[in-house]
Amino acid sequence: MTCRATRSRSYHVLALVLLSSMPASAQTPAVPERAPAVADDSTHAEAQLDSLIAIAMLVNPAVHAAQQRVHAAQARIGPAGALPDPMLSVGIMNLPVREPGFSDFMTMKTVGAAQTLPFPGKRALAGRAAELELRAAEAGLESVRRDVVADVRKAWYDLALLDRTLAIMEANQRLLVNFVQVTESRYATGTGGQQDILKAQVETMRLAELAVAVTEQRRAALARLNAVLDRPSNTPVAEPRVPQRIARAAIARDATRIRFASSALGARAADSPFPPLEEMQQQAIANSPMVEAHEARIAAQAARVELARKAYLPDFDLSLQYGQRTDRSDMVSAMVSVPVPLHKGERQNQQLAEAQAELAAMEAEHHVMVNDLRADIAGIHADLERDRAQLALFVTSIIPQGRASLESALSAFQVGRTDFLTVLENQTTLYNYETAYYSALADFAKSVAELERVTGTEVLQ
């Protein structure tokens, strides 16, 4: 069961209670000109969110893991460009087999040292590749931080909506008690049918079922938030609300200020609070840590391609040895050795081909990544403008027209020109519209969080 369906049923119960508990001579109930926003009129909600985000930055395990990857990448830079360890040797040369000893003039005790010197440029390329991998790790850390911020905000908005639903259900529970008494009284006086009593009992059980579902949904949303904060799943949070800046960006406080871009069917709401789509796409590409990380890895792979091109160039092995002889002059030996790339076609050439193919693949993946990012921004932007247009329609026409239909049905019901089910259907329709209003507002808030995650900046103008 979705949250939207749950809220729709809760409004159905509230409509039934309000209508059935009214005497025939009652005045038509006032229907709000627009659905209230699930928002805090102060900066309290934003301050709570900022506090939770700050905590998440300190304790979130994913952030800690990304930080350790940065430390690991830093530690790889030094070894990547360092010389190989030198080799020390101690030994005896030309020791006679039949008469072991040091009397023979060819026998000597030796000590030596050897060092491999990579061909000039190889160490610099290896160090460059490691430095670029560090840059990629740092960009990955920024990406994880943005993900954590978005996760906190989305879970917070879900909690705000579910808390609103539970508050409505608690009010319904109190009203249903009165409704049962009213239906029993009307049945006793002959002005109501037994089916009204049965309906009240059914709605009471349905409300209990919905309350269980919504409560469990809230526990799940709270667990998601607390998982990001690395604390027990049932740790409470106080009064989640959608911040005022988000609600006001979604829909103007004054309904008379709401306009549409044109009179065409499907037109967007005017006065968008967002920059142009192309500007946000370029901003996302420039600020995306994932794009930055991939660019760094491409540059690191380019350095590895250059290193592979130098693979056939020889590394030099230098060795120096000192020999001590008995009753003879000591001796010194020096040697330089280089590998001969006789198998260049089978080894070095293939290593170069592998590195070049990997680089080409990464460049193609980067092109895909940029295209996907552009499409993601366009999709989020479309979702935001859809939500704004829906909210504008709810405020300017759908909810007022639903209110007018309900008032007409109530008037007809009071004089006996329509039945109870018609009134109930109109009331349910109106509250379904308001349910959709709340859902669109929550979707808008979460889409703003996602857009800010991708672009790396506040997008509301």
Which DSSP string do the residues of 22-50 spell out, in sequence order?
A: S-TTPPPPP--SSPPPSB-SSSHHHHHHH
**pLDDT at 312 (0 to 100):** 87
What does residue 107 show for φ and ψ, rounded to 5 degrees? -80, 135
**pLDDT at 423 (0 to 100):** 63
DSSP 8-state assignment for residue 266: T
Judged by average pLDDT, the poorest of 7-16, 41-50, 397-406 is 7-16
* DSSP symbols for 197-252: HHHHHHHHHHHHHHHHHHHHHHHHHHHHHHHHTTS-TT---S---B-HHHHHHHS-
Judged by average pLDDT, the poorest of 89-93, 132-136, 408-412 is 408-412
H-helix or E-strand containing 318? Answer: strand 316-324
**pLDDT at 6 (0 to 100):** 42
Q: How far is Cα 221 from Cα 233, in angstroms, rounded to an integer?
A: 9
Q: How far is Cα 17 from Cα 9, in angstroms, rounded to an integer?
A: 13
Give the mean pLDDT of the chain: 82
What domains are defined for the chain? Answer: 3-455 (1.20.1600.10)
**Rounded to 5°, angle at Cα 341 from 336 and 343:** 150
Judged by average pLDDT, the poorest of 18-22, 133-137, 283-287, 306-310 is 18-22
Q: Is 269 helix (H, G, I), strand (E, B) or coil?
A: strand
R_g of the chain computed on alpha carbons: 37
Q: How far is Cα 392 from Cα 61, in angstroms, rounded to an integer?
A: 41
Cβ–Cβ < 8 Å for 321, 112: yes
Q: How does residue 412 score in pLDDT terms, banded at 50, 70 and 90?
A: confident
Q: For the chain, what's the residue count? A: 461
Residue 160 has pLDDT above 60, yes or no: yes
Cβ neighbours of 214 (radius 10 Å)? 23
Return the higher-pLDDT residue of 323 and 210: 323
Phi-psi region of 47 (alpha: psi -120 to 50; beta: other; left: phi over 0): alpha
pTM to 2 decimal places? 0.79
